[in-house]
Each structure stands twice: as C-alpha cells, then as structure tokens.
Amino acid sequence: MNEVKNKTELKINLSTYYILPLLKLNKSSFGEDNFIKSQVTKYGEVVVYIKNGDVAGDYYNHENFGADVEDEDGVMIIYNVPDRHLEDYQMFIESKYSKMSMFAKDVIKAHATVNGLLWMKRTEEVIITNGKRKKVYYDESSRELMALDLSDSLRETLEEELDVKIAKGVELWNKLEEEEFIKL
C-alpha cells in the first residue's frame, strides 16, 4: 500500500526542475494537473508519472520517448536523455549542478516559471533615509536556480541561515536524495 501512495504522491523535485527541460518538457507538458512526479535512473533515463494518459497529449511521439506502462494509478513514461545532454545529465547525477553547461542552465531557466520556480523577478522598493526618497531594486529568484550559478547572495543567505562558512565554488544545493532515483 505504501508503494502505491508514494507512486501517486505529487513530488516536484530537482529532476523536474533540471532534467525535464533538457527534453523540452516541463510539468505542464502532460496536461493541466496531470503531472505527478519525475525520477531519473543512473543510466540516462527519465521516468515521468502522470495521472491520465488520455489527457497527456502525444507524449509517445516525443523524439526521446522510450516506453510507457499504464496501470490503475496512472501512466509511467520513460524517456531517454538525448546524447547532447548526457554530460549535463552526468553532472546532475553527481550533484554537480553548477558544472552543467550554460546551454543546459539556459534551458532550465526558460522552463522555470512553468515548473513553478521564480526566475529573476525585479522588485522595486522606496526607502526614505534622512528625509530623502531612494528607489532600491531587488532581484529575486528561486534557490534551485540560483544554485546553478553558485550565486553569492544564495551562499551568503545559506551561511546566515545555517550559521556556517561556505567556501566559494562549493555546490549550494543538497546532493540528490535516493527518492530522486528509480531502478528499472
């Protein structure tokens, strides 16, 4: 029973944010509110779970489609990572997110909003100091995206939150958890 519950539980994770975009996919590619989760293998495959194959469109015509399995809980779709992204995929598997190529990072950021992440929202605030009004601008982004570029502001925020010193160049996101992986 636990296995079924875990299978159908909505889980947006790093594979959804970082790997689906490399396939030109995102969580809305399978229909509105149809996406459940994605997982990766250690061998260049991405597994996507959806609720209903009938509303998912032509997912089986995708250039990287490998196979699908339907059961009473939904559909499990297997995609193969394109050869041109295997190096980025390997960096992901090794939790070396900042080492992914600039092309991969750009694709990830292009799909960020659809996947529920915030990418470079500029906020304006008016501050009054000594009777003078001054506009201050803040750029906001989701941490998952800032980690790709080893953002200094993310590093500083993490240092403050965790009360530790983080060396420059160290990855700013956790290593992949076992739940990100699936064995086929």
Is residue 4 pLDDT above 80, yes or no? no
Higher pLDDT, 27 or 141: 27
How far is it, in rounded angstroms, from Cα 109 to Cα 26? 11
Give the model's pLDDT for residue 148: 92
Encoding tokens for residue 128?
């009054």
Q: Averaged over 4-10, what is the pLDDT?
A: 40
Is residue 29 pLDDT above 70, yes or no? yes
Give the model's pLDDT for residue 71: 84
Is residue 121 pLDDT above 80, yes or no? no
Is residue 157 pLDDT above 80, yes or no? yes
Per DSSP, the three-state class of 50 is strand
Give the containing element (helix H, strand E) for 45.
Answer: strand 45-50
Q: Averaged over 7-21, what is the pLDDT?
A: 75
* pLDDT confidence band for 9 (50 / 70 / 90): very low
Higher pLDDT, 6 or 55: 55
**Residue 9 neighbours by CB under 8 Å, 6+ apart:** 36, 37
Give the model's pLDDT for residue 123: 63
Give the model's pLDDT for residue 22: 96
pTM of structure: 0.80
Q: Listing from the earlier edge strand, what are the strands of the sheet with 65-71?
A: 35-40, 45-50, 74-80, 65-71
Give the model's pLDDT for residue 118: 66
Is residue 137 pLDDT above 50, yes or no? yes
Name the nearest CA neighbour of 20 among 107, 144, 150, 149: 107
Name the nearest CA neighbour of 145 among 170, 112, 171, 115: 112
Per DSSP, the three-state class of 134 is strand
Q: Averaged over 84-112, what is the pLDDT?
A: 94
